[in-house]
Amino acid sequence: MSGVSQIRIRPALSGDVAAIVAMLADDALGRGRERVADPLPPSYVQAFERVERDPNIQLVVAEGEGGEVIGCLQLCILPGLSSQGASRGLIEDVRVASRYRSRGIGEQLVQWAVAEAQSKGCKLVELLTHNTRIDAQRFYKRLGFQASHVGMTIRF
Amino acid sequence: MSGVSQIRIRPALSGDVAAIVAMLADDALGRGRERVADPLPPSYVQAFERVERDPNIQLVVAEGEGGEVIGCLQLCILPGLSSQGASRGLIEDVRVASRYRSRGIGEQLVQWAVAEAQSKGCKLVELLTHNTRIDAQRFYKRLGFQASHVGMTIRF
């Protein structure tokens, strides 16, 4: 532990995509799924444009003291009829650059997302975390989440 | 088992909201969360309008042979950077009217959603199902889903 880092959370810009992809790839599960190259595969840039066009999705980054991008998180606000028509918040793709871990950056990102979802009228925030991510499960429990559901997936 | 029912899957209309809410409420977990009244609480109607305005969300119903609404499902197509910029499909609020269960209706709804997500370029479809819904977990496994993740939630 090196104490809690001061970060600034702001919307991701197109110039951040490479830094975000590097964080997604710097991960036990992400390593096999991402493709880090220069220039970046166009599928990432196209996906960023789709995210930007979607008013219910916020992709944010955490900026460190020097202005570098050291974390990211995607929050989706999903309208729906259940729970008397309350929207749900869905958190995806939480990452912190490896050399900045254990400094409270992920915690600040997730607390931002929970507060943001609440301010948008959500009564529930949900996320899926892989069965093997035991540390992540402990982390989310510390922030008030419950392991109430089974997260089921099918990949093509 | 009464064999497989013929259904028609179509987008939900505002006139279906009451039938959908009745199915959401006719459920062990939904019972405590929903409010079935006539007229319907306006929060449901407002939520339906939000769903309709969102181009990435499809709320569909299953119509039985007589034209009545006997099932529902919500599919969200979520753009994002991970997995090389592939969108994810998220399935929510799958319900079948209690007197029509065990006739393959849920299966047809979920298979429709998986095919639809695939046709929209998703490489992954995900969902959360409550730890207590053992039958649902068996059902999704039969359809090819894996219990790969922990679904974590926080309610306000």
Instruction: Please state the ipTM of this predicted complex.
Output: 0.94
Asked if B152 and A51 come within 8 Å (Cβ–Cβ), the reply is: no
**Locus of tokens 């939900």:** B12
Q: What is the mean pLDDT of residues A63-72?
A: 95
pLDDT band at residue A1 under the 50/70/90 scheme: very low
3-class DSSP state for residue A42? helix
Do β-strands A57-63 and B69-78 pair in parallel, antiparallel, or remain unpaired?
unpaired
Q: What is the mean pLDDT of residues B46-65?
A: 96
Contacting residues of A for B52, CB less than 8 Å apart: none
- Residue A152 is nearest to which of B34, B118, B146, comparing CB atoms? B146
pLDDT band at residue A2 under the 50/70/90 scheme: low
Q: What is the 3-state secondary structure (H, E, C) of B42-63?
A: HHHHHHHHHHHHCCCEEEEEEE
**Locus of tokens 């950077």:** B81
Return the percentage of chain B with pLDDT > 90, whole number: 86
Contacting residues of A for B81, CB less than 8 Å apart: 17, 20-21, 24, 44, 47-48, 51, 59, 74, 93
The pLDDT tens digits for A83-120 are: 999 999 999 999 999 999 999 999 999 999 999 999 99
User: Which domains does chain A carry?
Assistant: 8-13+56-142 (3.40.630.30)
Asked if B114 and A154 come within 8 Å (Cβ–Cβ), the reply is: yes
- Residue A148 is nearest to which of B24, B146, B151, comparing CB atoms? B151
Cα A111 to Cα A65, A71, A138: the distances in Å are: 19, 13, 15
Supply the mean pLDDT for chain B.
94
Say yes or no to pLDDT of B125 above 90.
yes
Per-residue pLDDT at B2? 54
Please report the number of interchain residue pairs, chain A to chain B, with beta-carbon separation below 8 angstroms: 224
Q: Residue B100 and residue A49: Cα distance in Å, rounded?
A: 42
Q: Residue A31 and residue A35: Cα distance in Å, rounded?
A: 8
Say yes or no to pLDDT of B156 above 80.
yes
Q: Residue B152 and residue B128: Cα distance in Å, rounded?
A: 9
- Residue B152 is nearest to which of A50, A54, A129, comparing CB atoms? A129
| Of B56 and A5, more confident | B56
Per-residue pLDDT at A87? 97
Say if residues B82 and B10 touch (Cβ distance below 8 Å).
no
- Residue A82 is nearest to which of B24, B131, B143, comparing CB atoms? B24
Is the CA virtual torsion A73, A74, A77, A82 positive or negative? negative
Asked if A59 and B80 come within 8 Å (Cβ–Cβ), the reply is: yes
Cα B156 to Cα A106, A125, A129, B152: the distances in Å are: 21, 9, 20, 14
